[in-house]
Chains A and B, each alone.
Chain A
Amino acid sequence: MNIRIIPRLDIKGPNLVKGIHFEGLRVLGKPERFARYYYEQGADELIYLDAVASLYGRNSLLEIVERTARDIFIPLTVGGGLRSVEDIRIVLRAGADKVSINTAAIGRPEFIQEAAKTFGSSTIVVSIEAIRRPDGTYEAYVDYGRQRTGVDAFAWAMRAAELGAGELLVTSINKEGTGKGFDLELTRRIAEAVPIPVIAAGGAGKISDVHDVIAQGRADAVCLASLLHYNALNHLRAEDDDYSQEGNIEFLRQRVRLSHIQDTSLPDIKAFLEARGVGCRWRQPAPANA
């Protein structure tokens, strides 16, 4: 089986943002340009997550999805604030291939079943955001890691799979954005318990972290943000874009290097994995006339 590497783009308004522990969001640039760059670099899929939809309602995400889906021919998953079958329909109609649901599913688990029945299981990714408690148990959170639920993350993962989720996107809130590596225990325990693919997210700071979460965490796919975004920034001339006044763009202006994130790219990561016996899809050069 070939491992998938999936860049994850957190979107706030018209911008790609990135934070630490889902807080302190920085503006990194225009999501479509990052998406195009990752597509050309050999991304296996893309994930767009609306960073604020659960709190403030719908925004410009649909327009971004439409523009992206028009010229990027790999699967695109979209999530953030999807609460009904009709919400999902609208996002799929804009060009998404799959949707990721979290808050609404925990509040009403039958939502997974309805969504899977209406659109097919393979369209429904259930996102589980977990926080490790001091006693070693894991609790599922919602609203971008802001709201606790009291639900055990492992029990919830099993339930979501039984209700018809096609894949699980498992994010460690403790590790998210820190660059300190994935939560291997969280990933492994879920990946070994469910029959469906698990996408690991949250914490990659260096290439070897990606290998660890596959080899030790048993992840079927790996979702990356910081590890790719800061490198991509150097290749995308942010100055060409007109940024709205919204958001913290100080980071963009200063071009600060992040000491806790290795400077790497999708081809580097795949080469590293291939060299260690982890199968990946390699980038195929686009034929000139396609």
Chain B
Amino acid sequence: MPERKALQVAVVDYGLGNLYSVKQACEHVGLGAAITSSKQEILCSDAVILPGVGAFGDAMASLRRLDLTGVIRDIALSAKPLLGICLGMQLLMTESCEFGRHQGLGIITGTVERLQSSDKGGRRLKVPQVGWNHIWRVREWTGTPLGGLGDGDFMYFVHSYYVSPADTGMILSVSRYGVTQFCSSLQRRNIFACQFHPERSGQPALRIYHNLKALLEKAVS
């Protein structure tokens, strides 16, 4: 029997973000992972992760400069899993209001909004939110990348903005920061996106990577 090589995840490298922790999480669950900005490598992979930290406008400019917007849209339209993490989630949207208006990839209809910097008592909250927060279930997680996680589990967030999808039916979890309740993860067909960092949210959150692997194994068997 010919030996099949490990399932390969392309971690899209557009110059920003800690791609290494994403790669390590993939490898921890037994997935191959390549940090790449090669269109060919992205197209040939079994799944694509769009990570990222930093500013929306800069990130979109980098993706355009590297000529990667088209290939990411193609992956979104295919059956291959596409994961957007943190800024990578926001980039999937139609547009962002971060430092003026910026067009996103337009894969998911919706906008990117800024967190409010006050809580119910009118006290000032730090923006960015940096730290651990709950994710609350708004629809069934079984069979989604969040399958096996608990309602209210803690995840690690670093962000000033959050996504607001037009179709709220795709929202998997919400989280709360001060007066803002926001979409912390969503799924539509092959596309999953989360505002938190599953590769930096402790042992339980690695379930998301395990689920990705299980999904890919099912697809090739």
Whether a CB of chain A sits under 8 angstroms from the CB of B25 is yes
Complex contact B20–A93 (CB within 8 A): yes
Complex contact A284–B132 (CB within 8 A): no
Complex contact A286–B53 (CB within 8 A): no
Whether a CB of chain B sits under 8 angstroms from the CB of A275 is no
How many inter-chain residue pairs (CB < 8 Å) link A and B?
114
Complex contact A1–B202 (CB within 8 A): no
CB-based nearest A residue for B15? A118
Q: How far is the CA of A287 from the CA of B132 in the complex (A)?
A: 19
Residues of B in contact (CB 8 Å), total 45
Closest 4 pairs between A and B when the two form their complex, measured CB to CB: A120-B54, A281-B132, A120-B53, A286-B203
Q: How far is the CA of A169 from the CA of B158 in the complex (A)?
A: 16
Given contacts A196-B126, A286-B204, A4 and B54 within 8 Å (CB-CB): no
Complex contact B158–A122 (CB within 8 A): yes
Q: How far is the CA of A197 from the CA of B127 in the complex (A)?
A: 8
**Which of the candidate stretches A67-75, A201-209, A254-262 sits at the interface with the other chain?**
A67-75
Given contacts A1-B126, A74-B200, A119 and B131 within 8 Å (CB-CB): no
Given contacts A73-B205, A120-B17, A120-B54, A44 and B132 within 8 Å (CB-CB): yes
Q: Tell me which residues from 141 to 185 in chain B have a Cβ below 8 Å from any Cβ of chain A.
A: 148, 153-154, 156, 158-159, 177-178
Whether a CB of chain B sits under 8 angstroms from the CB of A123 is yes
Which residue, of B18, B55, B127, B159, has the highest number of chain A Cβ atoms within 10 A? B18
Complex contact B158–A282 (CB within 8 A): no
Q: What distance in Å separates the Cβ of A170 from its nearest Cβ neighbour in chain B?
A: 14
Whether a CB of chain A sits under 8 angstroms from the CB of B16 is yes
Q: What distance in Å separates the Cβ of A213 from its nearest Cβ neighbour in chain B?
A: 15
Q: Mark B1-27, 1 if CB is under 8 A from A, else 0.
A: 000000000000001111011001100
Whether a CB of chain A sits under 8 angstroms from the CB of B130 is yes
Complex contact A290–B204 (CB within 8 A): yes
Chain A residues in 8 Å Cβ range of B156:
74-75
Q: How far is the CA of A197 from the CA of B156 in the complex (A)?
A: 15
Q: How far is the CA of A70 from the CA of B156 in the complex (A)?
A: 18
Chain B residues in 8 Å Cβ range of A1:
119, 125-126, 129, 131, 177-178
Contact of A195 among B24, B117, B210 (CB under 8 A): B117
Complex contact B18–A74 (CB within 8 A): no
Complex contact A197–B130 (CB within 8 A): yes
Whether a CB of chain A sits under 8 angstroms from the CB of B133 is yes
Q: Tell me which residues from 216 to 266 in chain A have a Cβ below 8 Å from any Cβ of chain B.
A: 220-221
Q: Tell me which residues from 21 to 53 in chain B have a Cβ below 8 Å from any Cβ of chain A.
A: 21, 24-25, 28, 52-53
Contact of A97 among B18, B87, B117, B148 (CB under 8 A): B18
